[in-house]
Amino acid sequence: MKKIILVLLAALMTVSLVSCGANYAVTGNYNMNNTQVQLSTANFNVVDKVSGSAHVSYVLFIGGIGEHQLYENAYSAMMAKADLSKGSRAIGNVVTEEQVEGFIPFYWTRTITVSANVIEFTK
């Protein structure tokens, strides 16, 4: 009888230490700009790398904003840091990362981060 109680107690302790959390990250390119630049000569410099992020929290599937608006907020934050008004500058290599973590369906957060290189043309 003592062995059964010890096994049940060990199983209960093991179950209490297990987490049902989830965490994953997805990288994609959601940028649909179609700008064509001739890069046959070295007429540009990579000036900076900028990024912006936005996050939202959900409790029992309630809360926050939609995924599209979350992306727009992250993209706007990145563009505010890019400061494209100085000379002939553009952004390139735009990458979008999405990270979801928490205890789904009870509580979780979604974070979208958009990053890009700031390119300055010299000629």
| pLDDT tens column, 69-97 | 888 999 999 999 988 888 888 888 888 88
**What's the mean pLDDT when you consider all of the chain?**
81
The answer on pLDDT for 51 being more than 90 is yes
Dig out the tokens for 62 from the structure.
């309630």
Q: What is the pLDDT of residue 21?
A: 55
In the chain, what are the domain boundaries?
A: 21-121
Select the more confidently predicted residue: 29 or 104.
104
Closest among 77, 93, 97 to 24, alpha carbons compared: 97
| Fold annotation for 21-121 | Translation Initiation Factor IF3 (3.30.110)
pTM: 0.68
Q: What is the pLDDT of residue 83?
A: 84
Confidence of residue 32 (pLDDT cuts 50, 70, 90): low
Q: What is the pLDDT of residue 33?
A: 61
